[in-house]
Structure 1
Amino acid sequence: MTAAAEKTGILGIAREQVLERGVGLSQEQLVEVLNLGDDKLEELLGLAHEVRMRWCGPEVEVEGIISLKTGGCPEDCHFCSQSGRFPTPVRSAWLDIPGLVKAARQTLAAGATEFCIVAAVRGPDERLLSQVRDGIKAIREDGNDIQIACSLGMLTQEQVDELVEMGCHRYNHNLETARSHFPNVVTTHAWEERWETLRMVRAAGMEVCSGGIIGMGESIEQRAEFAVQLAELEPDEVPMNFLIPNPGTPYENYPIVEGPEALRTVAAFRLAMPRTMLRFAGGRELTLGDLGAEKGMLGGINAIIVGNYLTNLGRPASQDLDMLAELKMPIKALNETL
């Protein structure tokens, strides 16, 4: 560390360490970033954007998601309206294969290069894997070459191998929050079980997608812990979600994360993982709104989910695509994701 960096505080240190050398911040350094005042927010966002541009480039990856199996999940994730343990309005339902093909076609037409098939389960049984297999086959027979990702819960090694054989190139399984906070969020399985699934996915050659939700009662220190734990995982993609206090869940009365706090967290995660794809996901419309979304795209984000988020509505895909055009951010072409 140079004397000049020391004099300019944590942002000067981050400029030298992350922007110049590509080395993510430590947990202690991230706590400093997360405790910066609002008067430093614009400078922080500007630095995070510089880091994104230097180590990831200007392109933005656009993704759509679809729920193949909705509701009725046996797990007790306290934020989730799809848990069968809570009195939420969501009821169990399956999407048929024609519906899956139609959704993939619409996702491609919206300009996305990634289509993620999601199921509300602890882990996939044979019925679900068969549905995914038939769905992927039908999407390909429809002439759609969009990249297909899956999010089907915790996996065995055999199931990992099956998904590779099906042509799933990226697997999403969120760690959700810091290891120290996880028992306050989920009690029906352990953080380590999620980590093991991700380890097997990485070893099998699939891309790893893992992020979490900000605003579930975690401390600033635990947000920093979470970012460092994700960095250790070395995921290809990190979805950044902000808590939506869904009715009927244990978190239904939790406060919405305020915009400046959300943006500061996004920038901190970029400074922890300079080379990782950071994706705006659920809750951004609620906590940030249109202006905040633009600031996030100029504050470290380089990927975005368009359309709806499973049981929660997003804004129209056209709005996000118009925003990217106004910001002069090119959308990653399909052939660049192969």
Structure 2
Amino acid sequence: MLEELVQTALNRELPSRTAALRVLAGEDELVDVIAAAFRVRREFFGRRVKLNTIINLKSGLCPEDCSYCSQRLGSTADILKYSWIEPDEAAQLAGQAVAAGVKRVCLVASGRGPGDRDIRRVEGMIGTIKDEHPRVEVCVCLGLLQDGQAERLRDAGAYAYSHNLNTSEQRYGEICTTHTYRDRVETLQRATRGGLSPCSGAIFGMGESDEEIVDLAFALRELDPDSVPVNFLIPFEGTPLGGRWELTPERCLRILALFRFCFPDVEVRLAGGREIHLRGLQAMALYVANSIFLGDYLTSEGQPGADDLQLIADAGFTVEGLEHPTLPEQRHDLVALRHRGAGSTRRGSS
């Protein structure tokens, strides 16, 4: 079955549902699954690791009620809350990230979706960043898009738009009630039609079954994203999913392997929660995923950037596009400049 999965992926074809479920079910030894996934990863991406980072432009006070999110409506999670940062702050953070080897900077803002004023503000930030770092990919994540907004972001210099499906269609109403699964699909389609590279993935560890994981992977495949972030739930206290610790390192690795088989030539990005759920097996995940986030996430800390770079080197991989990354003297902390006097100054814990 693993050989079938490899050959199907090398042909850029979708695996059978039976084969996909077997990856998750544990019928094959984990090391054999990882080795099979690595054959696919190596064929399309060699031993390169692409680095990404998040710049949280606006944090907290979101009107949506996504159960996993520390910024949700009604959240009592102890996180930073602030309004929009200034363009020069965004550019400074982007500059630190680019020096460390980051190829994609993800500009993220909480909220249901951007209004015209928000789009104008982000257009300015994109311009400032691109003026100083013309080769960096700017990805934007602002929530649900309206008609014409993707085109404006593209014209401002954005490369990609990120909007995760997060969970399967049949479970979506259990996770969020203020918008629908279909709303998310339509935003991704608007971004694609508007000329932005579509980025969409999921969050795991929210009670989903093997069948629902496969449903989601297959649904994402139909949307044809260029990059697929795989997140693992950070169970913030003060949210409905706080305290939910159902993932194991093996479960995470099997999910990653499934996504590699479903997206053989697409950027599979190891994203939020990797440090706390993969723990000592993070290096093994690099044999499946070809992309990771460097530094911190939206409201939780990642591990120091220097540790990530050492992890990559120790596993025998190289940072894509940069031979000698440079980190600041202090910890690579992309929240360090945020946010003077704007609400809480406490950080969420992971």
Could you tell me the TM-score, scaled by structure 1's length? 0.91
Q: CA deviation at 1:144?
A: 5.2
Q: Which residue of 2 aligns with 1:60?
A: 49
Q: Which residue of 2 aligns with 1:315?
A: 303
- When you count helix as a share of all residues, which structure comes out higher? 1
**Aligned residues of 2:70 and 2:239 also touching (Cα < 8 A):** yes
Once residues 88 and 154 of structure 2 are traced to their aligned partners in structure 1, the CA distance between those partners, rounded to angstroms, is: 23
Q: Which residue of 1 aligns with 2:70?
A: 81
Identical aligned residues as a percent: 35
Q: Which residue of 1 aligns with 2:3?
A: 12
Give the counterpart letter for 2:14 in structure 1: G
Residue 48 of structure 1: SS of its match in structure 2? helix
The CA deviation string for residues 18-68 of structure 1, in whole angstroms up to 9 with x for no partner, is 24x33221333211211024x610000000010111133332211111100
2:289 to 301, 307, 310: 301
Give the counterpart letter for 1:151 in structure 2: C
Q: Which residue of 1 aligns with 2:345?
A: none
Could you tell me the TM-score, scaled by structure 2's length? 0.88
Once residues 29 and 129 of structure 2 are traced to their aligned partners in structure 1, the CA distance between those partners, rounded to angstroms, is: 47
Q: Does 1:49 align with 2:1?
A: no
Q: Which residue of 2 aligns with 1:139?
A: 129
Q: CA deviation at 1:157?
A: 1.8
Once residues 120 and 157 of structure 2 are traced to their aligned partners in structure 1, the CA distance between those partners, rounded to angstroms, is: 13
- Structure 1 pair 117/32, CA: closer, same or farther in 2 (3 Å)? same
Residue 150 of structure 1: SS of its match in structure 2? strand
Once residues 183 and 284 of structure 1 are traced to their aligned partners in structure 2, the CA distance between those partners, rounded to angstroms, is: 26
Q: How does 1:153-232 map to 2 (within 5 A)?
A: 153-232=143-222
Q: Which residue of 2 aligns with 1:332?
A: 320
Once residues 310 and 159 of structure 1 are traced to their aligned partners in structure 2, the CA distance between those partners, rounded to angstroms, is: 23
Once residues 63 and 17 of structure 1 are traced to their aligned partners in structure 2, the CA distance between those partners, rounded to angstroms, is: 29
Once residues 116 and 286 of structure 1 are traced to their aligned partners in structure 2, the CA distance between those partners, rounded to angstroms, is: 22
Q: Which residue of 1 aligns with 2:23?
A: 33
Q: CA deviation at 1:162?
A: 0.8
**Aligned residues of 1:71 and 1:82 also touching (Cα < 8 A):** yes
Residues paired across the two proteins, number:
321
* Gapped regions of structure 2 (runs ≥ 5): 323-350
**Aligned residues of 2:295 and 2:305 also touching (Cα < 8 A):** yes
Once residues 310 and 244 of structure 1 are traced to their aligned partners in structure 2, the CA distance between those partners, rounded to angstroms, is: 11
**Aligned residues of 2:9 and 2:264 also touching (Cα < 8 A):** yes
Once residues 29 and 204 of structure 1 are traced to their aligned partners in structure 2, the CA distance between those partners, rounded to angstroms, is: 35
Once residues 97 and 329 of structure 1 are traced to their aligned partners in structure 2, the CA distance between those partners, rounded to angstroms, is: 34
Once residues 263 and 132 of structure 2 are traced to their aligned partners in structure 1, the CA distance between those partners, rounded to angstroms, is: 37
Q: Which residue of 1 aligns with 2:343?
A: none
**Aligned residues of 2:199 and 2:227 also touching (Cα < 8 A):** yes
Once residues 39 and 116 of structure 2 are traced to their aligned partners in structure 1, the CA distance between those partners, rounded to angstroms, is: 46
Q: How does 1:267-282 map to 2 (within 5 A)?
A: 267-282=257-272
1:119 to 109, 112, 117: 109
Q: CA RMSD in A?
A: 1.6
Q: CA deviation at 1:305?
A: 0.4
Residue 125 of structure 2: SS of its match in structure 1? helix
The more displaced of 251-260 and 67-76 is 251-260
Q: Which residue of 1 aligns with 2:138?
A: 148
